[in-house]
Amino acid sequence: MNEQTKIIHSGRDRDPYTGASSIPIYQVSTFHQNDPEHLGAYDYARSDNPTREALEHTIAVLEGGARGLAFASGMAATSSVLMLFQPGDHLVVGRDIYGGTYRVLTTLFKRWGLQVTFVDSTDPDAVRRAITPATRGLFVETPANPLLQITDLRAMVAIAHEHGILAITDNTFMTPHLQRPLEFGFDIVVHSATKFLSGHSDVIAGLAVTREADLGKKLKTIQNSFGAILGPQDSWLVLRGIKTLGVRLDAQQRSAGELASWLSGRKDVKRVLYPGLESHAGHAIHAQQARGGGAVVSFELADGPTAVAFLKRVKLPLVAVSLGGVESILSYPRTMSHAAMPADERLARGITDGLIRLSVGLESTEDLIADLDQALRSESSSSRQ
Judge whether 46 counts as a catalytic residue: yes
Judge whether 217 counts as a catalytic residue: no
Contact between 246 and another protein per CB under 8 A: yes
Judge whether 95 counts as a catalytic residue: no
d(CA 93, CA 101): 10
Contact between 363 and another protein per CB under 8 A: yes
List 89, 96, 152, 170, catalytic entry: 170
Contact between 258 and another protein per CB under 8 A: no
Judge whether 98 counts as a catalytic residue: yes
* Cβ atoms < 10 Å from Cβ of 21: 8
List 52, 195, 211, 357, catalytic entry: 195
d(CA 283, CA 275): 5
Q: Which is nearer to another protein, 93 or 237 (CB)?
A: 237
**Residue among 55, 64, 61 at smallest CA distance from 242:** 55
| Phi/psi at 222 (5° precision) | -65, -45
Q: SS3 of 82, please? A: helix
Sheet arrangement for strand 318-319:
271-273, 296-300, 355-359, 329-331, 318-319
* CA dihedral (206, 210, 216, 218) positive or negative: negative
The 193-212 contact track toward another protein, x by CB under 8 A, reads: -------xxx----------
Contact between 362 and another protein per CB under 8 A: yes
Is the CB of residue 310 less than 8 Å from the CB of residue 376? yes
List 6, 15, 46, 120, catalytic entry: 46
Binding-site residue total for another protein (CB under 8 A)? 36
Q: Which is nearer to another protein, 156 or 245 (CB)?
A: 245
The residues in 312-351 that bind another protein, with binding defined as CB under 8 A, are 316, 318, 320, 325-329
Q: Which is nearer to another protein, 195 or 280 (CB)?
A: 195
List 26, 98, 102, 332, catalytic entry: 98
Report CA Rg, the chain. Answer: 21
Give me the amino acid identity at 50.
Answer: P
Contact between 57 and another protein per CB under 8 A: no
Contact between 293 and another protein per CB under 8 A: no
Q: Which is nearer to another protein, 127 or 330 (CB)?
A: 330
Q: SS3 of 375, please? A: helix
d(CA 71, CA 178): 22
Contact between 14 and another protein per CB under 8 A: yes
Q: Which of 128, 163, 240, 313 binds another protein (CB under 8 A)?
A: 240
The residues in 22-41 that bind another protein, with binding defined as CB under 8 A, are 22
Helices (H), 211-348: 213-226, 232-243, 245-264, 283-289, 304-313, 343-348
**Residue among 260, 282, 287, 261 at smallest CA distance from 358:** 260
Q: Which of 231, 256, 361, 372 binds another protein (CB under 8 A)?
A: 361
Is the CB of residue 255 less than 8 Å from the CB of residue 120? no
Binding site for another protein (CB under 8 A): 1-5, 8-9, 13-14, 19, 21-22, 200-202, 240, 243-244, 246-248, 251, 316, 318, 320, 325-329, 361-364, 366-367
Instruction: Name the residues annotated as catalytic.
Output: 46, 98, 170, 195
